[in-house]
Structure 1
Amino acid sequence: MKKLLVIVTLAIGLIGCSNGVVEQKEQVIKVGSIGVNGVQRAKKDKNIVIMDTRSYDEYNGWDLDGNGINGHIPGAVNYPTSAIKDGNVEKALERKGIVAGNEIIIYGKNTETMKDTLIEKGYIVSIFDGGVEKWAEELLSFEKLKRYETIVPVSWVKDLLEGKKVIHYDGRSVKVFNVGWSEKGKPHMKEHIPGSYWMHTGWVEEGPLWNRVDDNKIKAELEKEGITTDTLVLIYGDPMAAARFGIIAKYAGVDDIRIINGGLKAWKDAGYPIETEMKIPEPVKEFGATVPQNPELIVDLPKAVELLKTEDGDLISIRSWKEYLGKVSGYDYIKPRGRIMGSKWGMAGSDPWHLEDYRGMDQFHMRPYTEIQKMWKDLKINSENHLAFYCGTGWRASEVWFYAQAMGLERISIYDGGWKEWSETKETKKKVLKGEPKVLNEENFIN
């Protein structure tokens, strides 16, 4: 490993019982480069972190440069250089398990910018000469998000809509939906991806429980929006709302539904044009199948209770810690507080309207999947079990479902009724817990 020593003089104020004294102290920071063999050796050192500074999409597996590379160096964490501007650097590093004293090897794009940022934070930094291209030349393996094609980059969407040839597309008809809560589509009229349509979640879910509407209404709504079982449906907007519509459409039988990673923010950050004209999709006469085609994707109250009684089934609470403890209900229209007895906490965010624990620092991209996997492992969530995600009424749980399916999990659902239905239903409203558990995620359901 070649290293260049840089001497940085720091002025440190020492406060004592007498007058303040300023002491000059030298900090040695190592900067340099490293080759393939050095990276391979470093992978065995727990104190060394390998960091991929490319985009979330490239880390997931998308070959955006056309060089035949899908994924990242095994064991590498992902911190795009472009994400430095999106939030607190210290917080971002903490989420990746990087602590003071770690050495960091970086590769990817704009590595000089990332190097300077990390050095400023006091880390020992090396740059991998040649990066992923050199790794590929040596015929070494890569890792990737198992179903990365279901979480699509904005550049792929733009090329697709412009009629260019793109990978992971079979020529079927395409519809893009901007999803949120507004019957008249005010957010859409302000700005949207050209050619996309507005989808109000209130058209596919209804109060008072905010479960999905009945199957006939779902079918009719999809037909009104010009969607058949064979339509490629791309969704963006409020990520939770988009996922809520997406899983209901998937439950109905739409074969191919994908989330646009980063949504409108990523689209605008890329400098792509926006549109304000409200367009109405042309309806279709027939959806193409009876609804639902995939009933297992959404479980209702009886199945949720059944899962809690089994050895290989779990309800995963995608709610804030305060909601899980019962300190708040989280919603002005949900009065009861607490958690479902026997459920496991899957983390979520700071409140019902945020999902920071599952998103990148910009709050619109999917969080690097390796971080989600580690988070679940730390929470004792067994990905081999049948996992049914729930939240207050389904939005947060739906977004996490999409990430879980992209990660390759097979036995996953959402519990549609969530905390609102469970806590307001006579048969289950007393099957709740409050307060901090003695051992997190080891509580049992008691009949």
Structure 2
Amino acid sequence: MSILISDRELAARIESGMRTVVLDARWTLAEPHGLESFRAGHIPTAVSVDLEDELSDHAASGLGRHPLPSDAAFTAAMRRWGIRTGDLVVVTDTTANLAAARAWWLLRHAGHEQVLLLDGGIDAWVAAGYPLETGDRTPEPGDATARFGAMPVIDIDEAAGFADDGVLLDARAAERYRGEVEPVDPKAGHIPGARSAPTSIALDADGRFLEPSALAARFAGLGVEPGAPVAAYCGSGVAAGHLVAALAIAGIDAALFPGSWSQWSNDPSREVATGSEPR
């Protein structure tokens, strides 16, 4: 199954009454919880997802800015969203799936197989002329259970040596990778051996994912070869999920380093590389 669904396909499912759980995972620095924008207009039947409170566990220390939630906490979130075992879930946002990919990855990691991203996000839905709803929505509780372990994950020690035998991709903006700017974390630069792969390389001008062949070509240009181990990180483990999704579209399995740069740069024992070269 593809990991993408078009606005036309989603609209057809909603209009026909086919059971579809739509999750609105919008998140920005200006509005990290996304609820105000959700209430102002969202895809019909959608439920608001809180990236900060439901897709992260801020009680965990030393694991970066957005540590992964526990199985129990994510089970509670899935059930609040109304997800039942076997449901088709569609996740979307207003940032070309940069936030939605976090929910997509976590649901897949939790063992829920039927999860899709709305290609182009809510912007594509609106551009196509489909309607929005306003206000809140509380669905009937679901029965899904999170059992993490379905998606590959690496920790900080594995990230340190990953580039020795595989390809470690950095999903942050190129200037952050090079160490020219660092607006959030205590050190500027990148994990030694990592290669710069900003999430923008996976998108077209309309915020839709490139075709699989085009994505495969771009990743090949970064040294990703068939069968070679691949892992991705970003600032805090959110945008890296978008890169994992793009790699999946290209037919490439990739691991996620959840702690990402926010964990690495806060550890004084970790070396930091700067400049445009991996090392």
Shift of the alpha carbon at 1:321? 1.7
**Which secondary structure does the structure 1 equivalent of 2:232 belong to?**
strand
**Which secondary structure does the structure 2 equivalent of 1:259 belong to?**
strand
CA contact (8 A) 2:4 2:119 kept: yes
Match of 2:261 among 419, 422, 426: 419
**Residue in structure 2 matched with residue 247 of structure 1 by the alignment:** 105
Q: Which amino acid aligns with 1:195?
A: T
Give the structure, 1 or 2, with the largest relative contact order (CA under 8 Å, sep 6 or more): 2
**Which secondary structure does the structure 2 equivalent of 1:219 belong to?**
helix
CA distance in 1, matches of 2:275, 2:235: 18
Q: How does 1:17-416 map to 2 (within 5 A)?
A: 149-163=2-16, 173-181=19-27, 182-183=32-33, 185-202=35-52, 203-207=54-58, 209-237=65-93, 238=95, 239-284=97-142, 286-288=143-145, 291-294=147-150, 296-309=151-164, 311=165, 313-329=166-182, 331-332=183-184, 334-346=185-197, 348=198, 355-363=199-207, 365-409=208-252, 411-416=253-258
Shift of the alpha carbon at 1:158? 0.8
Shift of the alpha carbon at 1:316? 0.8
**Which secondary structure does the structure 1 equivalent of 2:167 belong to?**
strand
CA contact (8 A) 2:25 2:34 kept: no
Shift of the alpha carbon at 1:198? 0.8
Q: Which amino acid aligns with 2:42?
A: H
CA contact (8 A) 1:152 1:260 kept: yes
Larger radius of gyration: 1
CA contact (8 A) 1:243 1:259 kept: yes
Structure 1 spans left out of the alignment, 5+ residues: 1-146, 165-170, 349-354
CA contact (8 A) 1:318 1:397 kept: yes
Q: TM-score, normalised by structure 2?
A: 0.87
CA distance in 2, matches of 1:293, 1:377: 27
Provide, for residues 105-158 of structure 1, a one-character-per-residue CA deviation record: whole Å limited to 9, x for no partner.
Answer: xxxxxxxxxxxxxxxxxxxxxxxxxxxxxxxxxxxxxxxxxx5x3211111111
Structure 2 spans left out of the alignment, 5+ residues: 59-63
Shift of the alpha carbon at 1:383? 4.2
Q: Which amino acid aligns with 1:404?
A: L
CA distance in 2, matches of 1:191, 1:325: 38
Q: Which amino acid aligns with 1:253?
A: G
Q: Which amino acid aligns with 1:214?
A: S
Shift of the alpha carbon at 1:381? 2.6
CA contact (8 A) 2:171 2:234 kept: yes
CA distance in 2, matches of 1:316, 1:281: 38
Residue 380 to residue 197, structure 1, CA distance change in 2 (3 Å): same
Shift of the alpha carbon at 1:426? 4.0
Following TM superposition, where does structure 1 have runs of at least 4 consecutive aligned residues deviating by more than 3 angstroms?
none
**Which secondary structure does the structure 2 equivalent of 1:273 belong to?**
coil
Residue 150 to residue 184, structure 1, CA distance change in 2 (3 Å): closer
Shift of the alpha carbon at 1:229? 4.0
**Which secondary structure does the structure 2 equivalent of 1:211 belong to?**
coil
Q: TM-score, normalised by structure 1?
A: 0.56
Residue 406 to residue 216, structure 1, CA distance change in 2 (3 Å): same
CA distance in 1, matches of 2:11, 2:276: 47
CA distance in 2, matches of 1:178, 1:261: 13
**Which secondary structure does the structure 2 equivalent of 1:316 belong to?**
strand
Shift of the alpha carbon at 1:369? 3.2
Q: Which amino acid aligns with 1:287?
A: A
Provide, for residues 215-256 of structure 1, a one-character-per-residue CA deviation record: whole Å limited to 9, x for no partner.
Answer: 221222212222244221101113111001110111111111
CA distance in 2, matches of 1:229, 1:402: 22
CA contact (8 A) 1:360 1:366 kept: yes
Aligned residues: 267
Provide, for residues 377-414 of structure 1, a one-character-per-residue CA deviation record: whole Å limited to 9, x for no partner.
Answer: 222232421211111012221112112112221x3121
CA distance in 2, matches of 1:269, 1:321: 30
CA contact (8 A) 1:389 1:400 kept: yes
CA distance in 2, matches of 1:293, 1:390: 18
Provide, for residues 280-336 of structure 1, a one-character-per-residue CA deviation record: whole Å limited to 9, x for no partner.
Answer: 12213x424x52141x43322233235344x2x22111122211111112x33x121
CA distance in 1, matches of 2:174, 2:226: 21
Query: Which is strand-richer, 1 or 2?
Result: 1
**Which secondary structure does the structure 1 equivalent of 2:105 belong to?**
helix
CA distance in 1, matches of 2:108, 2:204: 25
